[in-house]
Amino acid sequence: MSDHPRLSLHVPEPEFRPGAKPDFSGVTIPRAGTVRRPPVDTAPEEIRDLAYSIIRVLNRAGEAVGPWADQLSDEALQAGLKTMMKVRAYDTRMQMAQRQGKTSFYMQCTGEEAIACAFQMALEPGDMNFPTYRQQGLLIASGYPLVDMMCQIYSNSRDPMKGRQLPVMYSSKAHGFFSISGNLGTQYPQAVGWAMASAIKGDTCIAAGWIGDGSTAESDFHSALVFASTYKAPVVLNIVNNQWAISTFQGIARGGSGTFAARGHGFGIPALRVDGNDYLAVYAVARWAIERARRNLGPTLIEYVTYRAAAHSTSDDPAAYRPKEESEAWPLGDPVERLKNHLIVKKLWSEERHTQAVAEVEAEVIAAQKEAESYGTLHTGPKASGRDMFVDVFKEMPPHLRRQRQEAGY
């Protein structure tokens, strides 16, 4: 036997498991307005501190404060609130539809609405998102029809994906929303490639890649950062850190590094960390990074600190791995409530108006749902044809597929 002490394996554990009382008082959250706002052409090595802080605009009183504030008009703020409310109402209805057996699967983004909704407002037509499955806010904020989204969820006769894809795997080139893959992280280098293509062609469009905290552990995350760094691709690389990868807490993917944003430093990519539940902060940071990309200054890595308030998906029960109270205890609050309070403070909104808006949004979503269901749901009514399964495997159907289609009776 060796004289050395015996080794032991370190396996990180979250602080709170079911039954424990979550307490985030030890988490350092900078006060709103205290993090500086550097010029977009600042050298990455001069803003390393921003990867370890949290950029915040909305304070507890609902005021927008500090150097990242005052970027949005009153109308844009009201529209932003309504978009987030619409996303939440859409999620609620589709979650319910799944529970009613109208589809097989659904994924909500409860608590994370501000990130996709505000980011989309900072993009321009022609830009391209490479999203994950939890960025439905991008589509809704871009004005994509709710009915079409629902038809995809139902895999019905009007499903734009022709019944081929798992619910929530939308695609819309016209709305700058790249086809979603169920294989995690693959879209990250693709976003970089799209951005490189825009640069190769001397275009003015930029790309945005999206990934979750858990999937940053995939090698494709590394691939994307290497290529983005090498070719200074005009891309914004977004990490949505919602604390939980199904049942696995973010510490398993993050390991010993202080933050996910700090992963950018090894690549010389400027990295920002932002309060993901603060619509104004998300918008301001998105604009900063998008301007950098647009000015050919290269990529930016952004970590949005947020919390997945709902289950991972309809197939998941978070009560099995985290305390039920954790969501309430989460210190960054609810994005819809926070923007609503800000609008009330600015006298652009009121409780009465909010109640009315909730009803309006719900009516809009219910009307869309009714229409979508008239085109069928997964198990009832008209649905995508079996013939469609053989189409689009290739641009033109080769003989062996034509034979198989005949064999299948289509």
Residues noted as catalytic: 308, 312, 321
Residue 393 binds another protein, judged by CB under 8 A: yes
Q: 209 or 276: whose CB is closer to another protein? A: 209
Nearest in space to 311 (alpha carbons), one of 248, 243, 239, 246: 246
Residue 384 neighbours by CB under 8 Å, 6+ apart:
155, 156, 157, 159, 162, 163, 164
Minimum CB separation from another protein for residue 320, in Å?
29
- How far is Cα 296 from Cα 286, in angstroms, rounded to an integer? 15
Residue 183 binds another protein, judged by CB under 8 A: yes
- Binding-site size for another protein (CB under 8 A) equals 48
Angle at 317 between CA 312 and CA 86, to 5 degrees: 45
Residue 104 binds another protein, judged by CB under 8 A: no
Residue 290 binds another protein, judged by CB under 8 A: no
Token pair of 357 as six digits:
């808006």
* Burial of 257 (C-beta count, 10 Å sphere; 0-12/13-18/19+): middle
The single residue among 130, 154, 304, 349 that binds another protein, judged by CB under 8 A, is 130
The single residue among 19, 26, 256, 399 that binds another protein, judged by CB under 8 A, is 399
- How far is Cα 401 from Cα 216, in angstroms, rounded to an integer? 37
Minimum CB separation from another protein for residue 395, in Å?
4
Residue 41 neighbours by CB under 8 Å, 6+ apart:
292, 295, 297
Minimum CB separation from another protein for residue 79, in Å?
27
Amino acid residing at 328: E
Residue 162 binds another protein, judged by CB under 8 A: yes
**3-state DSSP call for residue 301?**
strand
Phi, psi of 259 (to 5 degrees): -145, 165
Residue for token pair 């983004």: 109
Residue 173 binds another protein, judged by CB under 8 A: yes
Residue 192 binds another protein, judged by CB under 8 A: yes
Q: 196 or 372: whose CB is closer to another protein? A: 196
User: Which residues, 212 to 231, sit near another protein by CB under 8 A?
Assistant: 219-220, 222-224, 226-227, 230
Q: 43 or 174: whose CB is closer to another protein? A: 174
Residue 160 binds another protein, judged by CB under 8 A: yes
Q: 10 or 400: whose CB is closer to another protein? A: 400
DSSP 265: G
List interacting residues with another protein (CB under 8 A): 128, 130, 160-162, 164-165, 169, 171-173, 178-179, 181-183, 186, 188-201, 207, 219-220, 222-224, 226-227, 230, 391-395, 398-400
